[in-house]
């Protein structure tokens, strides 16, 4: 059943309000879990967190910055990247919905169904722009959809996995480009230590301060943030 039809039926019958409080709490907790999955799968979060994880691993600082800092930075960078989409949802969906709920004496013309439709359209537009054509075509073929299907008409069950693997590919490409300079530092340090006869000293002990110094001198966090945000600009 289509989600818009289901929401329309729930809204018309006020089924949620008639449920027992424990059931309402259970449904709200399930909705929060779905919202977390949506944050990871339908936004820029996947690409950002993977690239930042590559940066931390390339610096050989496996626990610095801590996971909480990485998640926080990824979350707020995601909000920054998704700001135009969120503003469109607010303008076209949230504000008309709130205005309709405040109207008295008549049934609201803009309900939760229309709000979900607007949000779906905006999220679909964002995912379509940042999904590679060959990735989308792969899932179109797997779903046996007609060849005439265009991106705007692609079902979400096809568009979402195509968007995710496209984001994974982009994130790994960016991670590879970030990893190369630090790998060269490791090779240089290893060669120097071997030439000095210090073969028993782990190269990472010497290379880590060198990589940190280089990263700070070039203002690495600024460059990484700029690259991540710019990768979503069309």
Q: Is the residue at 200 inside a domain?
A: no
Once rounded to an integer, what is the mean pLDDT over residues 45-74? 86
**pLDDT reported for residue 112:** 67
Which pLDDT score, from 0 to 100, does residue 11 have?
A: 47
* Within a domain: 185: no
- pLDDT per residue over 133-173, tens digit each? 888 888 877 777 776 555 556 777 888 888 889 999 999 99
pLDDT digits (tens, 9 = 90+) for 83-121: 888 888 888 877 777 777 676 555 556 666 777 777 788
Asked if 158 contacts 144 with a C-beta cutoff of 8 angstroms, the reply is no
Predicted confidence (pLDDT) at residue 22 exceeds the cutoff of 50: yes
Q: Does residue 60 form part of some domain? A: yes
Q: How confident is the model at residue 19 (pLDDT cuts 50, 70, 90)?
A: low
Is 182 contained in some domain? no
Report yes or no on 111 lying in a domain.
yes
pLDDT recorded at residue 172: 92
Average pLDDT over residues 208-217: 84
First and final CA of the chain: distance in angstroms?
35
Give the model's pLDDT for residue 1: 42
Measure the CA–CA gap between 118 and 136, rounded to whole angstroms.
22
- Domain presence at residue 57: yes
Most confident among 6-15, 198-207, 223-232 (mean pLDDT): 223-232
Find the domain containing 41 and state its range.
3-8+21-174
Give the pLDDT score at 108: 56
pTM of the model as a whole: 0.76
Confidence check: pLDDT of 219 > 70: yes
Peptide bond into 65 cis (omega under 30): yes
What would you measure as the largest C-alpha separation in the chain, in angstroms? Answer: 88
CA–CA gap between residue 44 and residue 74 (Å, rounded): 9
Q: Are the C-beta atoms of 72 and 52 separated by less than 8 Å?
A: no
pLDDT at 182 over 70: yes
The residue with greater pLDDT, 9 or 47, is 47
In-domain check, residue 215: no
Q: Is residue 39 part of a domain?
A: yes
Number of separate domains in the chain: 1
């Amino acid at each position: 059943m289509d989600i818009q039809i289901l929401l329309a039926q729930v809204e018309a019958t006020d089924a949620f309000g008639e449920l027992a409080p424990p059931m309402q709490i259970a449904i709200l907790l399930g909705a929060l879990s779905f919202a977390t999955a949506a944050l990871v799968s339908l936004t820029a979060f996947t690409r950002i967190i993977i690239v930042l994880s590559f940066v931390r691993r390339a610096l050989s600082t496996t626990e610095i910055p801590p996971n909480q800092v990485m998640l926080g930075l990824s979350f707020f960078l995601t909000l920054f990247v998704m700001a135009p989409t969120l503003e469109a949802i607010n303008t076209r969906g949230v504000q008309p919905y709130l205005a309709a709920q405040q109207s008295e004496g008549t049934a609201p013309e803009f309900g939760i169904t229309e709000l979900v439709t607007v949000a779906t359209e905006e999220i679909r537009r964002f995912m379509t722009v940042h999904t590679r054509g060959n990735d989308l075509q792969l899932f179109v073929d797997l779903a046996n959809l007609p060849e005439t299907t265009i991106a705007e008409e692609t079902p979400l069950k096809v568009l979402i996995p195509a968007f995710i693997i496209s984001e994974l590919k982009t994130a790994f490409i960016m991670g590879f480009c970030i990893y190369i300079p630090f790998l060269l530092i490791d090779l240089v340090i290893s060669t120097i230590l071997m030439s000095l006869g210090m073969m028993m000293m782990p190269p990472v002990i010497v290379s880590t301060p060198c990589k940190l110094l280089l990263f700070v001198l070039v203002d690495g966090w600024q460059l990484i943030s700029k690259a991540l945000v710019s990768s979503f600009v069309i």
